[in-house]
Structure 1
């Protein structure tokens, strides 16, 4: 199931203060990008918005009632703590959503930098 247009538009409206947002496919949902390739949020096919997180931000999300993105594999459920649900209190509050998006930008930029570096290393190896 894909993300509905209504859910996607609501998320884009929540985060509009970040500037231009590009969308892309991620799992069966949608990824939200700023600064060209910085993925700061994901919308699951269920409509749940997940924010990029890391060890420095995870506890803040947990304290606000967030839960990690979870999916089921043949070996059981897998939790992805690098994606934490947007706290319920921010779902209809653009100012609060902006706060969580700003918190997510740090881990998102680190992940984008790593992805760019990995891509450059692969290209350099292929060129030799």
Structure 2
């Protein structure tokens, strides 16, 4: 599913306090980068943050799922990106905190 331009704009506004972000389209989605490192992506109306072994469990505890897509051979799970929990959109400070963690993960990947 393609990234919704309206949702991408909304996410861009929410993440603007992080400083200079770059973003752009890719494979129907939209990548969000900090200092050249992709830390988030938008597919449809879903924001996904970059995770690693240390941060993945926090997403899973909140019911988040990994990004996935279908191929002729089945569903592919991309376990390096998990959906941002809905409650983050109700608390900008919390959203920014999670985004900063995703930035750190991306920087060390």
- TM score, norm. by length of structure 1: 0.79
Q: Which segments of 5 or more consecutive residues in structure 1 lack a partner in the other structure?
A: 112-128
Superposition deviation, residue 100 in structure 1: 1.0
Q: Which segments of 5 or more consecutive residues in structure 2 lack a partner in the other structure?
A: none
Q: CA RMSD in A?
A: 1.3
Partner deviation per Cα, 1:98-122 (whole Å, 9 max, x = no partner): 01101111221123xxxxxxxxxxx
Report the Cα distance in structure 1 between the residues aligned to 2:5 and 2:70, rounded to whole angstroms. 25
Instruction: Say which one has the larger Rg.
Output: 1
SS class of match (1:57)? helix
Superposition deviation, residue 4 in structure 1: 2.7
Q: Which residue of 1 aligns with 2:30?
A: 30
Report the Cα distance in structure 1 between the residues aligned to 2:91 and 2:9, rounded to whole angstroms. 14
Q: Which residue of 1 aligns with 2:98?
A: 100
Alignment counterpart, residue 82 of structure 2, candidates 78, 81, 84: 84
Report the Cα distance in structure 2 between the residues aligned to 1:66 and 1:12, rounded to whole angstroms. 21
Structure with greater strand percent: 2
Number of residue pairs matched? 109
Detail structure 1 runs of 4+ shifted over 2 Å in the superposition. Answer: 1-5
Report the Cα distance in structure 1 between the residues aligned to 2:90 and 2:7, rounded to whole angstroms. 12
Superposition deviation, residue 18 in structure 1: 0.9
Q: Which residue of 2 aligns with 1:19?
A: 19
SS class of match (2:53)? coil
Report the Cα distance in structure 2 between the residues aligned to 1:5 and 1:78, rounded to whole angstroms. 25
